[in-house]
A = this chain, B = another copy of it.
Amino acid sequence: MQRRLPGPKKLQSSLLSVAVEQVPKFSCQVCLVQKPIDIAQLQPLISDHDAGAHGWFYGVTRRRTGDKITASLSYQAHPVMAEKELARLANEAANRFELKCIVIVHRTGEVPVGEASIVIGCSSPHRRQTFAALPWLMDEIKREVPIWKRETYTDGSQEWVHPITEVT
């Protein structure tokens, strides 16, 4: 199920004079799933003896948005591109925030109220890095990764959510 990505290629090529064992190493794993995200299975993926800080974020289907009551959410993805973008962002976060490990799982299809549509975990030597990485990743994912959410409200109405953004 997991996609294990190669190390930080950009860093390696720009630091050719650095001994290989000094090149930062990290583990990035991302995937899309179509069933409930198995959180217990993900825990060991961010363990590292030099990581004193582990952080997790779960985005969960919420019952209420403004005045409307959500019955369920459904997520549609461009699956190949979504995994590529998630992997790109995971690698960028690992470099930018000096993470030891990172895992991102996004669920597609129906996600009932109370269940997680996305789980992100990361680990780092100190807590500042993990605390900075998680909000950055969520912001980027919500801007860049080709996944769309369709609300189904309790009154039966449905709508795709397309936050209007500037085109880059």
A107 at the interface (CB under 8 A from B): no
Contact A51 B62 (CB under 8 A): yes
A25 at the interface (CB under 8 A from B): no
Alpha-carbon distance A39/B53, docked complex (angstroms)? 15
For the complex, would chain A's binding face be called helix, strand, loop or mixed by DSSP majority? Answer: mixed
Stretch at the interface among A7-15, A28-36, A131-139, A155-163: A131-139
Identical copies in the complex: 2
Within 8 Å by CB of A127, from B61, B113, B123, B135, lies B135
B-contact bits for A50-75, CB 8 A (1 contact / 0 none) = 11111111111111100000000000
Which of chain B's residues has its CB closest to A117's CB? B52
Q: How large, as a class, is the contact surface on chain A?
A: 20 to 34
A95 at the interface (CB under 8 A from B): no
A49 at the interface (CB under 8 A from B): yes
Which of chain B's residues has its CB closest to A54's CB? B58
Closest Cβ of chain B to A44, distance in Å, is: 10
A114 at the interface (CB under 8 A from B): yes
Contact B43 A62 (CB under 8 A): no
Chain A residues close to B by CB (< 8 Å) = 39-40, 43, 47, 49-64, 113-114, 116, 123, 125, 127-128, 130-131, 134-135, 138
